[in-house]
C-alpha cells in the first residue's frame, strides 16, 4: 500500500510514518517544509506526483489557545487545507484518513461521546477542527475516514507528559486542573489504528482514543509517580488557570461503530510505553 503522510515531522506523523514503514508499506512522509497543505496547487501537484492509495493527514494547527486570536490561520490548516487534501485524494482515487479532535464537542455530557452525538465546539480550535471534518466529507464523500481522538501524547513532539516531567523536575509542587476529563492517547498506539482504518477503508466518522478516562490532574500524578520525581501534584480548577480558549469539561470518546474500529490500550499502558521509549532513547 502506497501511503502519503502529511505533517510527517509532527508528533503523530512521526509515529504514523514509523508504523507504516514497519508494516512494509511504501510510505512518503511530507513535513510542512515539504508540503504546505494550505496551498491548493502544491497539494494537487504533490498528490498527482506520488499517486498514493492512501493519504493520512496529520498536518494540523495544534495551538488551542493561539487559535482564539489566530482563528483564520488555524482554519486555513485545520479546515480549508484538510479540504484541499481530500479533494486531491478524490481526484487521485485515493482514500483519505483525516485526524480530528474531541474538541468538536462542548463537554456537557457525563457519559462518553459516540459518533452520533451532536457537535458543538466551544473554542476557535474546536470550530476549525469541525470545519475540517466537513471539508473532508464534502470533498471526498465516498473515500474518507475521519478519526476523532483526544489528548494526544508521544515521544516525537511537545506534549503534556513532557511538560509535566520538565516542570516537576524543577519544582516541589505543581497544580493541575481536575475538572477536565478525557482519554489520554499515545500516538504510538493511535498510529497503528489509523493504518488499520486505512487498510479496511472504514468510511465516515470514527472515535479512536486511549482506553479508560482521567482528569489532567490524575494524568499528571501518574506521570510524576512513573518518573519517580519528588514533586507534589495538587488539584486545581479550570477557572483559576484563566486560559484564553474554553475546554470541554468532559470529552471521553468511545465508538458505537462496532466491527472494523480498533480499540486502543488503556491510557496507563500508553504512558508506560511513552516512558519506556523515552528511557530507551537516552
Active-site residue list: 125
Cβ neighbours around 51 below 10 Å, total: 12
Q: What CA–CA distance (Å, rounded) separates 168 from 165?
A: 5
Cα–Cα separations (whole angstroms), residue 267 to 77, 177, 191: 28, 18, 15
Asked whether the beta carbons of 28 and 4 are under 8 A apart, the reply is yes
Show Cβ contacts of residue 17 under 8 Å, excluding neighbours closer than 6 positions.
5, 8, 27, 29
Asked whether the beta carbons of 251 and 242 are under 8 A apart, the reply is no
Q: What CA–CA distance (Å, rounded) separates 128 from 68?
A: 10
Amino acid at each position: 500500500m502506497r501511503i502519503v503522510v502529511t505533517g510527517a515531522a509532527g508528533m503523530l506523523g512521526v509515529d504514523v510514518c514509523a508504523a507504516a514503514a514497519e508494516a512494509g508499506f511504501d510510505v512518503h512522509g511530507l513535513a510542512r517544509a515539504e508540503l504546505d497543505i494550505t496551498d491548493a496547487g502544491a497539494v494537487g501537484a504533490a498528490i498527482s506526483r506520488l499517486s498514493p492509495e492512501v493519504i493520512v493527514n496529520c498536518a494540523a494547527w495544534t495551538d488551542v489557545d493561539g487559535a482564539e486570536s489566530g482563528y483564520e490561520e488555524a482554519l486555513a490548516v485545520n479546515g480549508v487545507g484538510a479540504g484541499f487534501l481530500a479533494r486531491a485524494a478524490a481526484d487521485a482515487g485515493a482514500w483519505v484518513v483525516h485526524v480530528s479532535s474531541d474538541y468538536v464537542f462542548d463537554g456537557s455530557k457525563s457519559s462518553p461521546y459516540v459518533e452520533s452525538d451532536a457537535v458543538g465546539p466551544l473554542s476557535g480550535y474546536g470550530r476549525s477542527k469541525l470545519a475540517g471534518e466537513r471539508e473532508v466529507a464534502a470533498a471526498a464523500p465516498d473515500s474518507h475516514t475521519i478519526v476523532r481522538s483526544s489528548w494526544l501524547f508521544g515521544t516525537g513532539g511537545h506534549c503534556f507528559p513532557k511538560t509535566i516531567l520538565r516542570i516537576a523536575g524543577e519544582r516541589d509542587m505543581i497544580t493541575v486542573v481536575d475538572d477536565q476529563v478525557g482519554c489520554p492517547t499515545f500516538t504510538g498506539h493511535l498510529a497503528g489504528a489509523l493504518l488499520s482504518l486505512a487498510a479496511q477503508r472504514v468510511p465516515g466518522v470514527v472515535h479512536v482514543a486511549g482506553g479508560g478516562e482521567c482528569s489532567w490532574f490524575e494524568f499528571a500524578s501518574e506521570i510524576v509517580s512513573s518518573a519517580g520525581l519528588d514533586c507534589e501534584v495538587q488539584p486545581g480548577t479550570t477557572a483559576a488557570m484563566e486560559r484564553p480558549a474554553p475546554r470541554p469539561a468532559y470529552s471521553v470518546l468511545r465508538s458505537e461503530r462496532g466491527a472494523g474500529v480498533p480499540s486502543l490500550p488503556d491510557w496507563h499502558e500508553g504512558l508506560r510505553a511513552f516512558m519506556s521509549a523515552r528511557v530507551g532513547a537516552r
